[in-house]
Every structure is written in C-alpha cells, then in structure tokens.
Copies of this chain bind each other. A is one copy, B any other.
Amino acid sequence: MSVERPTLDTVAKAAGVSRMTVSNAYNRPDQLSAATRERVLAAAAALGYGGPDPAGRSLRRGRAGTIGVILTESLSYAFTDPGLVQFLRGVGDEMSAAGQAMLLLPADADDDGSLVRSAIVDAFIVCSIRDDDPAVTAVRSRHLPFVSSGSPRLPAAPYVGIDNRKAAVLAAEHLLALGHRRLGIVGVPEEMPVAPDSRVVRTRQGFAERVAGFVATAAAVGIDPDSVVVAYAETNAVDSGAEAATRLLGRRQRPTAIFAVSDVLALGTLSAAASLDITVPGELSVVGFDDIDEAAHSRPPLTTIAQDLREQGRQAARLALGLVEGKTTRSRPWRPHLLVRESTAVAPRSRRGTGVTAVTGDAVVRDLRPSRPGATH
C-alpha cells in the first residue's frame, strides 16, 4: 500500500500501455480494443485507482460541469425558507436534466468572498443579494457569467424575478375591492439579520418594495398612508410572523385586513388570529405572498400573490447554462398574479365610518391600474 494515490501514469505503467490509452479506457471505450480496455481496468482495480481525477480534467477541459448557487443566508436559514427551497428545486430540475451538479455557497460564511473565489464552477446564480455584498463583488471579479434572481436586480446580468412593487398592488387592489379600509402589514426589515450570531447579510428580497406598493395603492384611494400600520417581524419565519401579527391585532382599532409580505409570515398571521379567536376571513382577511406549497393547505387556504418560484429557478438555471455556452438569451420579467383562496372576504361591517367613499371593487381596481400600461418598463 503506497501512500501515493495512483494516477493515469501509474496505471499505464502497470498495464504496459501509454497514459493516453488509460484515459481512453475510461472516457472513450471506442478508441481502443476491448481486450486492452479490460487489461487496463484490471490494472487500475489492482492499484486502487479511482478513475481520472476530475480536478485534472476540469483544468484541461476548461469546464467544471457545475453551477454555483450563492444563497443570501447561511445554508441553514436558506433551507427554512420554503420560497427559496422552491426556487432551488427549480434550479435542481434543470441541473438534473443537464447532467450537472449544483454547488451551494452560503454568502454569510463568505465575508471576504473567498468561497466564491475558490468555487470550481462555470457560472453563478446569485439569489437576493445586494450589489455591495462581498460575495457579489467576488462574483464580479471572477469574470464568470452569472444570473441574478429575486431582488435586487444586479446591473449588467440577466435577471429572473418579479416586480415586487407591482405585485403588491394586486394584493392591495383585492383587499380594497372587498371593502377593507383598515389595513395592516406584516413586513420584514430591509436588512434582516439572519440569526443573532450571524453578520447582517445585506439581503433584500423585495420586501420593502412590497410594503411600498401596497401602501401607495391604498393611498391612491384616499386612505391615509400613516393609518396603514406596518409590524415588522424579526425574521421571515412563522413564529416571528405570528408575533408581529399579534402586535397588529392587539391595537385598539385593529385592521380588518393584513397583507403579509411572505406566505410564511401570513401563516404566522393565521396562527396569531386563531390564538386570539379572530376568525379568518370573517373578522380578518389575510393575503400572503409567494404561493408556497403550504399556502394551499393552511386553514383557511391562503389568498396570496403567486409567483412561480420553481419555474423561476428553472429559468435561472437555463439562463446560467446558456451563458456558459455563450448564448446571451434575454429573459422577460416574471408575472405574478393574485390567487384568491379562502383567507379573504368582504370586510366586516365597520363599527364606525371610515371616511372613505365606498366604491365598487371593480371601479377601484380599474382606477389603480397604471394609466400608461408598459410605460414603467
């Protein structure tokens, strides 16, 4: 037993052939006779040779056969976010199909970008990381193709994602059309510390845009923006969402409708309402965001802004794989839509006037649409 790992040369010598023949035995069986191949593989087995070293191959070929996925947060947190998991699932779909592997890189363990710099990949997919994060800087400096996804849209890179502001408008329109005038929002701070002990990852999943879009839409029909109270959850987790919603629902004039900037938070909101014996949608309407799997199975099933995160993941992967091949496909922005389930209903009869003229839902919706469609591009 030698400590040295055998190489193509070792095997070649043992089998009495050239190095190249050994390589061919593994990679191009048609380039040598079956007998020779047999002999070579036998020699390799005897030496405990593990097959051509991928590191050598990757160097020579100039391809890694791997796409790097850079996650906003620690891997640990990433897996707790069902939306992100859906996205990764989509990426995985395409990777499997392309026979490639995916390398998961946590941005939070990578203050100096060293993980990114040492990743043996052909391209990157960057998930919801701000432009000024060291991980993004590192990606740029690698001069490898990359795709940005989620939010924000990184300059000079193909982007997969939705317009969060516009998406939130859909939620607001829906609730206003149902007659709701006392509105609340469960949000997440712009820069969310992922865990108490982790550095503040400069993440931005578009939560702020969602809040802004919602408030602006409400304001457009005469609702005082300051009356739309935003309760911030500490993190994007069910428990935090429940905690924030409890604060909102404990207020003197509690809202009749809550927009949660993610389904996870919306689930927390449902749970908070249940604890306080507030019926949904009878006394409280709840709209979520993302349409994660659980949204369909909650009680009641969640009305939400659906963005097909899995398909977005697929598209991001296709884009990245295409870039490796030198294709510069452009992707169209993604279209979210409102998915009405059972967590929203007509506003309960208010105990006092709201000061806002009642309008029919349809009228409101029409009024709120951009007057010059497409001009916002």
A-side residues, CB < 8 A to B, are 5, 48-59, 64-66, 68, 74-76, 78-80, 85-86, 88-93, 95-97, 99-106, 108-110, 114-115, 117-120, 141-144, 238, 271, 293-294, 297, 299
> Could you write out 5 A-B pairs with CB less than 8 Å apart?
A5-B143, A54-B119, A76-B90, A96-B109, A120-B120
Q: Find the B residue at minimum CB distance from A96.
A: B109
Q: Find the B residue at minimum CB distance from A5.
A: B143
**In the assembly, what is the distance between CA of A86 and CA of B79, in Å?**
7
A103 near B106 with CB under 8 A, answer no
Closest 9 A/B residue pairs (Cβ): A75-B92, A50-B143, A96-B109, A79-B89, A55-B59, A50-B142, A55-B58, A54-B120, A54-B118
B93 near A89 with CB under 8 A, answer no
**In the assembly, what is the distance between CA of A299 and CA of B238, in Å?**
15
Q: Given that A79-B88, A80-B89 are known contacts, is A106 also in contact with B117, CB under 8 Å in the complex?
A: no
**In the assembly, what is the distance between CA of A56 and CA of B91, in Å?**
27
Contacts of A55 in B (CB 8 A): 55, 58-59, 64, 120
B50 near A75 with CB under 8 A, answer no
Contacts of A114 in B (CB 8 A): 99
Contacts of A85 in B (CB 8 A): 79, 85
B76 near A96 with CB under 8 A, answer yes
* A268 vs chain B, min Cβ distance (A): 10
A64 near B120 with CB under 8 A, answer yes
**In the assembly, what is the distance between CA of A56 and CA of B117, in Å?**
12
A102 near B103 with CB under 8 A, answer yes
**In the assembly, what is the distance between CA of A101 and CA of B104, in Å?**
6
**In the assembly, what is the distance between CA of A103 and CA of B67, in Å?**
10
* A339 vs chain B, min Cβ distance (A): 18
Partner of A238 from B76, B120, B238, B297 at Cβ < 8 Å: B297
